[in-house]
Amino acid sequence: MKTDFRKSAGIIVYRVNKGTREYLLLEYGAGGHWDYAKGGIEPDEDERAAALRELREETGLTDVRVVDGFKESLHYFFRERGGLVSKTVVFLLGEVPPQAEAKLSFEHSRFAWLPFEEALQRATYGNAKETLRKAEEFLKTRQRKKL
């Protein structure tokens, strides 16, 4: 059986709204899974450029400050057209202004800005939940260091 190797990039986006950090989750298709903006890396792109392009295409968000020091990779396999796909997704972390709102692409049916605990509940897959936990811990640690 042939294995196809793919690499994608995504970005976990948050905003601080009235003192509460809210994460953006996207619903993929009606009644589908909840996850972050992500997609394939084009031949002329690096991970950061791909993550920002996917965010712009999927949500319309462009005023994003990528948070230095956060980068999480996850790997999984899935079957497609009778073959096996080995996929690596690299996630960055980005902050948008408190008033930022998403404008969905055709790929998504809904979006939600949710505080950490609610976002953790809404995220569908275990690897999405774990990446969110790491992002939240990274931001809390960074915040403590500033105090």
pLDDT at 146 over 90: no
The residue count for the chain: 147
pLDDT at 144 over 80: no
pTM of the entire predicted model: 0.91
Query: Cα separation of 36 and 123, whole Å?
Result: 9
Domains along the chain?
A: 3-146 (3.90.79.10)
Q: What is the pLDDT of residues 8-20, one digit of tens each?
A: 999 999 999 999 9
Q: Name the nearest CA neighbour of 33 among 2, 78, 65.
A: 78
Instruction: State mean pLDDT over 87-115.
Output: 94
Residue 19 confidence (pLDDT): 94
| Contact present, 37 and 28 (Cβ < 8 Å) | no
Residue 109 confidence (pLDDT): 87
List beta partners, residue 83. Answer: 80
User: Residue 147: pLDDT band by 50, 70, 90 thresholds?
Assistant: low
